[in-house]
Amino acid sequence: MILSEDVFLLQMRFLLLFSRQGKLRLQKWFTALSDRDKKKIIRDITHLVLSRPPKACNFLQWRDLKIVYRRYASLYFCCGLDQEDNELITLELLHRYVELLDQNFGNVCELDIIFNFEKAYFILDEFVICGEVQETSKASVAKSLEEADSLQETMEEYMSKPTY
Amino acid sequence: MSPSARLQEMIRVIRSARTQGEERGIIQRECAEIRAQFRQGDNGVRSHSLAKLLYVHMLGYPAHFGQMECVRLIASPRYNEKRIGYLGAMMLLDEKQDASLLITNSIKNDLCHSSQYVQSLALCTLGCMGSAEMCRDLAPEIERLLRASNSYIKKKATLCAVHIIRKVPELGELFTPSARSLLSEKNHGVLHGAVVLITQLCERNPDTLGQFRKAVPELVQIMRSLVTSSYSPEHNIAGISDPFLQVRILRLLRILGHNNDSASEAMNDLLAQVATNTDSSKTAGSAVLYETVLTIMDINSESGLRVLAVNILGRFLLNNDRNIRYISMTSLQKIVQTDHNAVQRHRGTIVDCLKDQDTSVKRRALDLSLALVSAVNIRSMMKELLIFLSTCPPELRSQTASGIFNAAERYAPSKRWHIDTIMHVLTTAGGDVRDETVPNLIQLITATSELHCYTVHKLYRALLKDISHQSLVQVACWCIGEYGDLLLKGECEEIEPVEVTEDDVLDALETVLQSHMSSPATRGFALTATMKLSTRITDNVDRIRSIVSIYGSCIDLELQQRAVEYNALFKKYDHMRAAVLERMPVMDKNSPGHTNGDISGELIKESETSKSKPAETGFPSESASQKVCDLLDLLGGPDTPSPAPAITPPTTNSSAGDLLDLLGGLEPTPVVPNLTVYEKNGLTLKLQCDRQTETDVTVTLIGSNSSLSDITNFTLQAAVPKVSLKMRVRMSFSHQGTLCQDTVQIDSFPSDVLNFQPSFSPL
């Protein structure tokens, strides 16, 4: 088994975003893995998910993990879960993340995530920590993101330069 | 060009590359520039460069040289630089990198920062990539934050604590007291984190679990207020108040109530309330209901509640949403053993799901259907399963076939039904069945003597239709060879009479022999069957003789050998032919002579008709007949003690009796795995037993020459009885000009080899 041994039950192992052509747009790993293992997982899962028919069920089994995925426009949002995890609530989690992205970017599309990938990570990190939801109120997360971003802008104004 | 344009410009340029090579070139240039900027240490630009590097990393290119830059940026006083530095740390520095330790100090400082957003960065990063060492270092700090900070920090600190416990379980004790008090928080984020933390603590430590059982009433209360509370927009999803929190609480209750009556009783009413009141029209509600069902089934709930849970799953089965059907079947699978009758009530719906379009749903339905087969419903279930087999996706066929075989074996209402079912599977999915199907079916057929006529007629007709499925063809050939006389008689109660001539039968077998679709093993079956018919037919023996002699020069070594030996049987040993080719005795599946394990090994072969083959196969035909002769001597020699093994049924012909009366009277004794059985005239024979799997042992006989001169013309023959594990070996060889011949008896095999029985595949 290529996944790390010191991982206990009930955990989201990773979250991946990839396009319909299989290009990776975001990867968040909640367990420690070697680069080689990560690449292999990405390859296998991308291939598995992309070959599913359109009306198929959003859950599938891969090795000893449950894979939950959903397609939003041209992006696939995909999670790897442990055997005991609740797939339906994970679907809600993915949906909440998309909502947060949408709120932050305003009608988010794949290009937003490509050109502002670091923002997508910041949003995710404000919603999920080590594979668990940290804040269940959408408004709360949005507010924290706003305040953090404004902290950044203050810096920018001070430096009179844009961020990145 | 302004700095932010630089990152987005770079992304644009990379995306415009038309080939992989072009992209690599651009990346190389950019990385060189990034490296230069890292070296320069110009404060304004470093964070941009790291951002660019992180993008390059996401494309899959190496980015190790950015690790130190992350460390430096994290230590910077500016928020934007810290932010990107921490992100870089989470992406590039995992616990396997040494550089990760360098940020421990920065994290420690940032955990006490005046800005909660800086604290948050530190907490998030520690929770994401903190190594065991870092966790040990920073645990006291986290514990302090758990107790005394605002809710924004508390909720992050709790999840960070979860990560620490995952990495260093002993630190659980540190967090247990504060975790308990967190349950009285009002903030949902903190509450959610607290429940996750307590779940982790309970899973790791049974004592802690006992402690937290006292918190069940509190958890029940929180849950109740969530379920009955009025609409609160902040946490509401599709009419459910904070489903994330509800699901986590239910999961914790599951762990606390498992195997504990008092805890289970305390949560009984709540679970009933949630199960009845939750609206499952949307995913959020279904998620909560799903978790409730799992909890009910896993604790010591009263039977009424269990029935309620199974009924919810039954309702899920009828849901339009495919996801819900899928998870309902997954849950039913878990409880099908314990609550079999309850699940049986939904059998109809489950069987209908076999026809669903989705492969995942089909797979679940198949597992569940196979688990629901019983003696009562076997006929109807098998009909459905056979229909499924003919239409199911290829990846499920082998599983379906073996499931059908198992079910048929356990619940077959009649032998004829059983044989029909297996034949149906072989015609539908013959390519996907496992190898032991062939001997299993043959054993079943021989045991059902009243149906021999029916079976051979059916198989013959199947053979005429299609010879592409190897398993079916093999079984058919074997049966035709064995029961050819019944086939030729033409009449059979169960089947309409059909005229079958000897030529027809031989034509069929020859077609199999000559077809390019037949595998070498199948052709072996066909040839042997043809040979067996020589004693069962009257007119066409010459035709058989000519077939056999043609194959005497076949390129396939196995076929050639068989043909040559059969030829010899015609020529030199015609008087023995009838006995040798006699009808096989009934194989009893549970007898010591027949199980699923098999001894394979180059030199040990089964000998139903006592036709052990010599080890060296490259010899010309004359010595083959010589060897046959020798072998018959070997087995029927005068030094063989008289009592036959009890299991082998007595045969009518006395010479056959000799042949089948193998090596009686030898008692096995346990011995070491490596055993030298013979050592003389320069030849050493060693026996080696390796246990490959639970049912397979490979016994290898290794011959070696310990003398200085060559050993030539080496022949080795081995014979093994059906009943117990003994072996008689005869060898002949030329050494230093003299012809040596010797026989050795191997009575003792290693004890673990003795503990199981060999199986013999029929010729």
- Point out which residues pair with A79 in neighbouring strands: A15, A68
In the predicted model, what is the mean pLDDT of chain B?
A: 81
A118: nearest CA partner in chain B: B51
The answer to whether residue B488 sits within a structural domain is yes
CATH of the domain at A17: 3.30.450.60
Structural contact between residues B456 and B483, judged by C-beta atoms closer than 8 angstroms: yes
The answer to whether residue B484 sits within a structural domain is yes
Where a domain ends, among B581, B597, B615?
B581
The answer to whether residue A79 sits within a structural domain is yes
Query: In this predicted structure, what is the pLDDT of residue B673?
Result: 58
The owner of tokens 């060897």 is B627
Structural contact between residues B757 and B595, judged by C-beta atoms closer than 8 angstroms: yes
Domain ranges, residue A62: 12-147
A119 to chain B, minimum CA–CA distance in Å? 10
User: Hey, are the CB atoms on B54 and A118 less than 8 Å from each other?
Assistant: yes
The answer to whether residue A96 sits within a structural domain is yes
The answer to whether residue A156 sits within a structural domain is no
Listed by number, the residues of chain A in 72-101 with a beta carbon closer than 8 Å to a beta carbon of chain B are 86-89, 91-93
Q: Which range is least confidently modeled, B197-211, B469-483, B591-605?
A: B591-605
Q: What is the C-alpha radius of gyration for chain A, rounded to an integer number of angstroms?
A: 17
Structural contact between residues B613 and B528, judged by C-beta atoms closer than 8 angstroms: no
> Residue B427's pLDDT band (boundaries 50, 70, 90)?
confident
Q: Give contacts of A58 with chain B, Cβ < 8 Å.
A: 323
User: Hey, are the CB atoms on A32 and B360 less than 8 Å from each other?
Assistant: no
Q: Is B185 near chain A, with CB under 8 Å?
A: no
The answer to whether residue B1 sits within a structural domain is no
Distant-in-sequence, close-in-space partners of B410: CB < 8 Å, separation ≥ 6: B373
**Interface contacts A/B by beta carbons within 8 Å:** 187
Structural contact between residues B579 and B655, judged by C-beta atoms closer than 8 angstroms: yes
Q: Is the pLDDT of residue B748 over 70?
A: no
**Local structure of B278: helix, strand or coil:** coil
Query: In this predicted structure, what is the pLDDT of residue B633?
Result: 52
pLDDT in tens, B214-272: 999 999 999 999 998 877 788 888 888 999 999 999 999 999 999 999 999 999 999 99
The answer to whether residue A157 sits within a structural domain is no
Q: Are strands B727-735 and A24-29 parallel, antiparallel or unpaired?
A: unpaired
Structural contact between residues B460 and B508, judged by C-beta atoms closer than 8 angstroms: yes
pLDDT in tens, B273-285: 999 999 888 999 9
Q: Are strands B598-600 and B696-705 parallel, antiparallel or unpaired?
A: parallel
Distant-in-sequence, close-in-space partners of B167: CB < 8 Å, separation ≥ 6: A6, B130, B131, B132, B135
Query: In this predicted structure, what is the pLDDT of residue B653?
Result: 39
The answer to whether residue A84 sits within a structural domain is yes
pLDDT (mean) for B728-747: 80
The answer to whether residue B562 sits within a structural domain is yes
pLDDT in tens, B23-70: 999 999 999 989 988 888 766 778 889 999 999 999 989 998 999 999
CA triple B118-B119-B122, angle to 5 deg? 90
Structural contact between residues B291 and B299, judged by C-beta atoms closer than 8 angstroms: no
Among residues B759, B696, B751, which one has the least CA distance to residue B722? B759
Query: In this predicted structure, what is the pLDDT of residue A161?
Result: 53
Q: Is the pLDDT of residue B198 over 70?
A: yes
User: B158-190 burial string, b = 16+ CB within 10 Å, else e?
Assistant: bbbbbbbbbbbbebbebbbebbbebbebebbbb
Query: In this predicted structure, what is the pLDDT of residue B626?
Result: 44
On the CB side of B120, CA atoms within 13 Å amount to 24
The answer to whether residue B44 sits within a structural domain is no
Q: Are strands A12-19 and A24-29 parallel, antiparallel or unpaired?
A: antiparallel
Both B567 and B444 in one domain: the answer is yes
Phi-psi region of B563 (alpha: psi -120 to 50; beta: other; left: phi over 0): alpha
pLDDT in tens, B492-509: 776 777 788 888 888 888
The C-alpha atoms of residue B355 and residue B351 are separated, in whole angstroms, by 8
pLDDT in tens, B590-642: 544 444 434 333 333 333 333 433 333 333 334 434 444 444 455 444 444 43
Structural contact between residues B367 and B353, judged by C-beta atoms closer than 8 angstroms: no
Q: Is A159 near chain B, with CB under 8 Å?
A: yes
Structural contact between residues B364 and B353, judged by C-beta atoms closer than 8 angstroms: yes
User: Hey, are the CB atoms on B51 and A118 less than 8 Å from each other?
Assistant: yes
Q: Is the pLDDT of residue B757 over 60?
A: no
**Widest CA span in chain A:** 52
pLDDT in tens, B319-353: 889 899 999 988 898 888 888 888 888 898 899 88
Q: Phi then psi for B734, rounded to 5 degrees?
A: -105, 130
Total number of domains constituting chain A:
1
Query: In this predicted structure, what is the pLDDT of residue B737?
Result: 75
Find which of A41, A123, A125, A141 to mutate to test the B interface (most B CBs within 10 Å of its CB): A125
Domain ranges, residue B692: 675-705+722-746
The C-alpha atoms of residue A69 and residue B69 are separated, in whole angstroms, by 35
Tokens of B465: 């239709």
The answer to whether residue B460 sits within a structural domain is yes
Tokens of B697: 């042992």
Q: Phi then psi for B708, rounded to 5 degrees?
A: -85, -25
Q: Is A8 near chain B, with CB under 8 Å?
A: yes
Distance of CA B68 to the CA centre of its chain: 45
**Widest CA span in chain B:** 106
Distant-in-sequence, close-in-space partners of B36: CB < 8 Å, separation ≥ 6: none
The letter for the amino acid at A159 is M
User: Hey, are the CB atoms on B87 and A152 less than 8 Å from each other?
Assistant: no
Among residues B444, B449, B439, B452, which one has the least CA distance to residue B487? B452
| Cβ atoms within 10 Å, residue B552 | 19
Both B464 and B577 in one domain: the answer is yes
The owner of tokens 């269990």 is B306
Of B83, B245, B251, the CB nearest to A152: B83
User: Hey, are the CB atoms on A130 and B127 less than 8 Å from each other?
Assistant: yes
Where a domain ends, among B581, B605, B639?
B581
Counted residue by residue, chain A has a size of 164
Q: Phi then psi for A59, rounded to 5 degrees?
A: -120, 140
SS (H, E, C) B5-53: HHHHHHHHHHHCCCCHHHHHHHHHHHHHHHHHHHHHCCHHHHHHHHHHH
The C-alpha atoms of residue B567 and residue B621 are separated, in whole angstroms, by 10
The C-alpha atoms of residue B381 and residue B378 are separated, in whole angstroms, by 5
pLDDT (mean) for B577-585: 83
Among residues B481, B606, B497, B583, which one has the least CA distance to residue B537? B481
Both B559 and B697 in one domain: the answer is no
Q: Is the pLDDT of residue B117 over 70?
A: yes
Among residues B395, B749, B379, B443, which one has the least CA distance to residue B599? B749
Q: Is the pLDDT of residue B137 over 80?
A: yes
The C-alpha atoms of residue B289 and residue A55 are separated, in whole angstroms, by 24
Both B553 and B690 in one domain: the answer is no
The answer to whether residue A7 sits within a structural domain is no
The C-alpha atoms of residue B206 and residue B210 are separated, in whole angstroms, by 6
pLDDT (mean) for B127-153: 91
Structural contact between residues B685 and B615, judged by C-beta atoms closer than 8 angstroms: no
User: B634-665 burial string, b = 16+ CB within 10 Å, else e?
Assistant: bbbeeebeeebbeebeebeeeebebbbbbbbe
Total number of domains constituting chain B:
2
Sign of CA dihedral B343, B345, B347, B352: negative
B48: nearest CA partner in chain A: A164
Q: Are strands A75-81 and A12-19 parallel, antiparallel or unpaired?
A: antiparallel
Q: Give contacts of B2 with chain A, Cβ < 8 Å.
A: 161-162
Note the pTM of the prediction, 2 decimals. 0.72
Where a domain ends, among B581, B597, B613?
B581
> Residue B726's pLDDT band (boundaries 50, 70, 90)?
confident
The answer to whether residue B208 sits within a structural domain is no
SS (H, E, C) B473-520: HHHHHHHHHHHHHHHHHCCCCCCCCCCCCHHHHHHHHHHHHHCCCCCH
Of A9, A89, A138, the CB nearest to B247: A89
- Per residue of chain A (164 residues), what is the pLDDT tens digit? 334 444 455 678 999 999 999 999 999 999 888 888 999 999 999 999 999 988 888 998 898 899 999 999 999 999 999 988 899 999 999 999 999 999 999 999 999 999 999 999 999 999 999 899 999 999 999 999 999 988 887 755 655 555 56
Q: Is B42 near chain A, with CB under 8 Å?
A: no
Of B5, B189, B247, the CB nearest to A135: B189
A163 to chain B, minimum CA–CA distance in Å? 6
The helix (run of H) or strand (run of E) holding residue B157 is: helix B151-167
Q: Which range is least confidently modeled, A63-67, B98-102, B460-464, B692-696?
A: B692-696
Query: In this predicted structure, what is the pLDDT of residue B4?
Result: 57
Query: In this predicted structure, what is the pLDDT of residue A32?
Result: 86
First and final CA of chain A: distance in angstroms? 39
pLDDT in tens, B523-557: 999 999 999 988 888 888 888 888 888 888 888 89
Of A59, A117, A136, the CB nearest to B189: A136
pLDDT (mean) for B649-654: 38
The answer to whether residue B497 sits within a structural domain is yes
pLDDT in tens, B273-316: 999 999 888 999 999 999 999 999 999 988 889 989 999 998 99
Q: Is B225 near chain A, with CB under 8 Å?
A: no
Query: In this predicted structure, what is the pLDDT of residue B694?
Result: 60
Q: Give contacts of B123 with chain A, Cβ < 8 Å.
A: 129
Tokens of B136: 């040990």
Both B439 and B577 in one domain: the answer is yes
Contacts 24+ apart (CB under 8 A), B64-69: B64/B92, B65/B31, B65/B35, B65/B38, B66/B34, B66/B38, B66/B92, B67/B92, B67/B93, B67/B97, B67/B99, B68/B38, B68/B99, B69/B38
Structural contact between residues A8 and B166, judged by C-beta atoms closer than 8 angstroms: yes
Q: Give contacts of B48 with chain A, Cβ < 8 Å.
A: 164
Of these ranges, B129-133, B428-432, B592-596, the one predicted with the greatest mean pLDDT is: B129-133
Q: Which range is least confidently modeled, B398-412, B595-609, B730-744?
A: B595-609
pLDDT (mean) for B111-125: 93
Among residues B327, B734, B761, which one has the least CA distance to residue B525? B761
User: Hey, are the CB atoms on B47 and A57 less than 8 Å from each other?
Assistant: no
Q: Is the pLDDT of residue B666 over 90?
A: no
